[in-house]
Structure 1
């Protein structure tokens, strides 16, 4: 059993049943492994949640690095829409799982601060870039609760509009 499959099972459990259902036995059952098999990879519930948080950060950083764009915010829009389109909207599940433990949330809070501060001063319009990044957060959050809300046409229109907001105003 690979670590990603165990993390997937934990995230699915959180999305389906909420944080009270996140037990090592339930995750092992969902993943189709023994509790001992789960404990081999993640020695505690906290280690499992930490693994989910770390993977979320790593995945979004990889999406950011893979995006085309002249500015960080353009890449941020692309990374957000890639996450929304892929259906891997686990941020809500991860935050739900870690919500009772500030130590487990700390890396995600640090990543969010970095994602929202990175390159702002280099943007043509830092305030517009901040608004676009915050809109991306809202899109991701809403899509995690209602993945059917926006069609592909809707997402394309939103992406175009967000990108247009990043263009400097005419002089």
Structure 2
């Protein structure tokens, strides 16, 4: 059993049943492995949650790698839409799992701070960029709870509208 499959099982359990259901035994059962097999990769519930937080941050950082000429906010929008389209909306599950432990939440909070402050002063319109980044957060949060809310056409229209906000000519 690979580490990612165990993290997937933990995230699915959190999404389906909430944080009280997140036990090592329940994750092992969900993943179809022995508890010892799970403990080989994650020696505690905290280590499991830490692994989920680290993977979420790493995955989103990978999505942020953009094309030359894109602003950070354009990359942030595209990364958010890629996360929503993929259906791997782990942020809610990870936060739910780590919510009782500020130590476990700290890396995610630091990443969120970095993601929302990165390059903001270099944007043509920092206020519009902040609005787009906050809209991305709202989209991700809503999609976490209702993945079927937005069709592909909806996402394309949202992307076009939010990209338009980032253009200097869109400023009032």
TM-score (norm 1): 0.97
Can you give the 5+ residue segments of structure 1 that lack an aligned partner in the other structure?
A: none
Taking structure 1 as reference, are residues 132 and 150 closer, same or farther at Cα in structure 2, changes over 3 Å only? Answer: same
Q: Which residue of 2 aligns with 1:148?
A: 148
Q: Is the 8 A contact 2:164 2:170 kept in 1?
A: no
Verify: 1:84 aligned to 2:79, yes or no: no
Q: Is the 8 A contact 1:24 1:45 kept in 2?
A: yes
Q: Which residue of 1 aligns with 2:112?
A: 112
Distance in 2 of aligned mates of 1:99 and 1:146: 21
**How far did 1:33 drift?**
0.3
Distance in 1 of aligned mates of 2:11 and 2:86: 15
3-state SS of 1:108 partner: helix
Taking structure 1 as reference, are residues 69 and 148 closer, same or farther at Cα in structure 2, changes over 3 Å only? Answer: farther
Q: Which residue of 2 aligns with 1:21?
A: 21
Q: Is the 8 A contact 1:69 1:75 kept in 2?
A: no
Q: Which residue of 2 aligns with 1:51?
A: 51
Taking structure 1 as reference, are residues 67 and 106 closer, same or farther at Cα in structure 2, changes over 3 Å only? Answer: farther
Verify: 1:157 aligned to 2:157, yes or no: yes
Q: Which residue of 1 aligns with 2:166?
A: 166
Aligned length: 171
Q: Is the 8 A contact 1:77 1:133 kept in 2?
A: yes
**How far did 1:70 drift?**
1.7
With 144-153 and 58-67 compared, the bigger mean Cα shift is at 58-67
TM-score (norm 2): 0.97
Q: Is the 8 A contact 1:13 1:21 kept in 2?
A: yes
Distance in 2 of aligned mates of 1:170 and 1:15: 39
Distance in 2 of aligned mates of 1:92 and 1:155: 20
Q: Is the 8 A contact 2:72 2:119 kept in 1?
A: yes
Q: Which residue of 1 aligns with 2:96?
A: 96
Q: Is the 8 A contact 1:68 1:75 kept in 2?
A: no
Distance in 2 of aligned mates of 1:68 and 1:151: 29
